[in-house]
Amino acid sequence: MRELAKVELHLHLEGAANPALMRDMAKEKSIDISGAFTEQGMYRFEGFQSFLRTYEAVTSVLQTPADYARLTLDVLRNSAEQGVVYTELFLSPDFCGGRDVAAWREYVHAMQEAADQARRETGIQTRGIVTCIRHFDPMWSRETALCAAETKGDFITGFGMGGDETRGKPADFAYAFDLAREAELGLTAHAGEWGGAGMVRDTLRDLRVSRIGHGVQAIDDLALVDDLAEHEITLEVCPGSNVALGVYPAWHRHPISTLLERGVKVTVSTDDPPFFHTNLVSEYENLNRTFDWDADVFKTVNMNAVRAAFCDEDTRAQLTKDLESAYG
């Protein structure tokens, strides 16, 4: 599974942070975040709300563009070891300079340099999706979208939304998504992880995204599943995350295989891998064990990811060619 070429569309940069690195950085800065870790040195949380609190506590250690460069390089080296050839990272101006455009530019510059270094070392390609956070003030999402529009380029190619889907409604963020669409950024939003099939519908209607983060609860409305298939909406599915957070009680209860069989453009990602004791190789192994997915299915989901990637057409053509030769 490690050797299979992989394309990952849904990875939160801070959520991908190795806990040992974050503990080291906290120690270097004399910041006490010991409550965020278990005795075994893994991240401590119980359930989704507690996960979000731990995530933000850990993120408080990251305070400068240099910190973010260090994290980015570590995360991308790790992704490359999993066989990832192209990845998209969710990046949050809320954590990088408090949505100030000038400060955000410095963070972007630092992260792009780290991504360039990772590419030279391993060949991995990276794009950044600027992400607003749903449980923060919706007015902040407008500033976040402005950060995205002002830094759109070779590296920043998308705009998205993560955070607590049980709060607010998609329409509260329509202004931000309109601004990002006007800037010709690719659009994605988390929905249907916690908010049910209705939230997927509302998100598509109000934010007009081409991709949905998770979207798995669409399975409870088969007419919606047909709509997703017909309109070729891509789902960024993170099964290990869903099982770890209790969206589904076990792998065999996860709808990923059914969604794929019903014609939905399914892709596979890890979300926040060390939080959920997973990595992309482990996700593939679980998909193989649980649903008997073989190289043909993995080729399909990776081709789906290339098709939906927020990259230029030359890169898309090259990735398509690379996957064709990798999978045969």
Alpha helices for the chain (secondary structure H): 19-28, 48-59, 65-81, 101-122, 138-151, 174-182, 196-207, 222-230, 239-245, 256-261, 280-291, 295-308, 313-327
Cβ contacts of 207 within 8 Å, gap of 6 or more:
161, 170, 173, 174, 177, 187, 189
Q: Residue number with the shortest CB distance to ligand ADE?
A: 162
Strand partners, 189: 161, 212
- Which C-beta is closer to ligand ADE: that of 234 or that of 303? 234
Interaction pattern, residues 265-284, with Zn ion; x per rule: CB under 5 A: ------x-------------
CA distances from 309 to 91, 162, 188, 252, 320 (A): 16, 18, 11, 28, 11
CA 180 – CA 174 distance, rounded (Å): 10
Q: How far is the CB of 146 from Zn ion (least distance, A)?
A: 22
Q: Considering the rule CB under 5 A, would residue 165 count as an interface residue with Zn ion?
A: no
Residues that bind ligand ADE (CB under 6 A): 12, 15, 55, 162-163, 190, 193, 241, 271-272
- Select the span of 114-122, 133-141, 220-228, 263-271 touching Zn ion (CB under 5 A): 263-271
The residue annotated as part of the active site, out of 8, 88, 165, 193, is: 193
Q: How far is the CB of 47 from Zn ion (least distance, A)?
A: 16
- Which C-beta is closer to Zn ion: that of 213 or that of 255? 213
Residue 193 among the catalytic residues: yes
- Select the span of 17-25, 81-89, 264-272, 308-316 touching Zn ion (CB under 5 A): 264-272
Strand partners, 188: 160, 211
Structure letter (DSSP) for residue 16: G
Q: Which of residues 121-160 bind Zn ion (CB under 5 A)?
A: none
Binding site for Zn ion (CB under 5 A): 271
Which positions are annotated as active-site residues? 193
